[in-house]
Every structure is written in C-alpha cells, then in structure tokens.
Amino acid sequence: MAQPPFYVQTLVSARASGTLFNTYTTAKSVINVQDLTPIPGNYFQVGSKIRVRAWGGLSNIVTTPGTVTFQVMMGAVAIYSTGALQMTTTANTLSPFMLEATLRMATVGSSTTATWLGGGIVSALNLSLSAGANPTLTNGVLAAPAGAPAAGTGYDSTTQQVLDFFVGFSISNAGNGVQIYNYEVEQLAA
C-alpha cells in the first residue's frame, strides 16, 4: 500500500543570531522579537505535530555550574520542557549546543485544556547526566526529558498565542549564558 506524501511547513525561522543572555535564573525568551510567531486560535488540532530545532552557544562556570532548562512556550505557558539538564564542571564559553524536539498536540480547548506531548534530544559538550568534567571524546547527547514524556502545561488553544523558546539557569552568573544562532519550528504532517 502506498504511503501518503509527507510534508513539512516552516512556521518560523530565525533571521539573525540572538542576543547573549546571562546572569539570570527565571526562564525567559531567547528568540529575537521579529522571529516570534503568533499562532491563531484553533490552528492546531489533536494529532498536529511540530518539530522545534535550536542551535546556539551555551556557557557555564566551573564551580557549581548548576543546570539549564529549555522550554517551548505557547504564550506564557511551557508546552514542553527538557527538565533541568546538568552542566559540566569544566568552564565553557559559548560551546555549541543543538536541541531537537518533536511535539504532538494531545488535547485542544479553552482555559487550560490544550496540551502537547513532546520529547527530544539535546547535544552539547557541556551537558551531562551528572556533575563532572566535559567528556573527552564526544559531545553528550541527552534525552529530554530524561524520564517518560508527559503532557506540558495546559493553555487555551482557542485564542491566539505567541510561539516562543525560553531558557533558564539554576545559578545566576555572568559565566552561565546562552545565545541562539539558529531557531526554527516546522509543522509536520503526513
């Protein structure tokens, strides 16, 4: 039996590198304002899929570097989170990282009914399963989240929301920072 054609539609793509953000803890947008995209109400349906890719530089301090968390946001709501990822105890300045996550719309509706289920991978020299030095042979590749995937926080899918990408650190330090070089969100369909 023939398979239906598969297509990808780019919803948003970064047009320029972002600002270097450091010295903060509460997750915040790291995407250039012109690269944020409004999603109309009722645009996604149950089963809709998106793929989010972010590539950038990730810095961390050597002593007690803490963790970093990446989040896909719909308005002010985190619809996907990598969870807290441990940074290594080797100081790094804008070491390359890549994140790829695929999300599937699990439920739709008003108030806090709409949810997405997602999972992905993060690859970076300065991320590891536990505190320690940078790996000596290759970048670490971590499942994100590390445990079983769970639906993100619910939001109202019947109203327009802004699709965004947030990053937060557990330790505020000028040496803990992130800069996005490329970011794209694709709508997947079969």
Residues in contact with 148: Cβ distance below 8 Å, sequence separation at least 6, in sequence order: none
For 118-169, how does the pLDDT look when each residue is reduced to its tens digit (9 = 90+)? 999 999 989 987 766 666 556 678 889 988 888 889 999 999 999 999 999 9
pLDDT for 4-44, tens place per residue? Answer: 556 789 999 999 999 999 999 999 999 999 999 999 999 99
> CB under 8 Å to 90, separation ≥6 — which residues?
62, 126, 133, 134
The residue assigned the tokens 């965004």 is 164
pTM of the model: 0.92
Residue 44 to residues 68, 109, 178, Cα–Cα distance (Å): 29, 10, 30
CB-CB neighbours of 132 under 10 Å: 11
pLDDT higher at 2 or 21: 21
Instruction: Please name every residue paired with 72 in a beta bridge, in sequence order, or none if there are none.
Output: 80, 165
Sign of the torsion angle spanned by Cα atoms 123, 170, 21, 54: positive
pLDDT tens digits, 50-84: 999 999 999 999 988 999 999 999 999 999 999 99
Domain segments of the chain: what residues?
A: 7-189
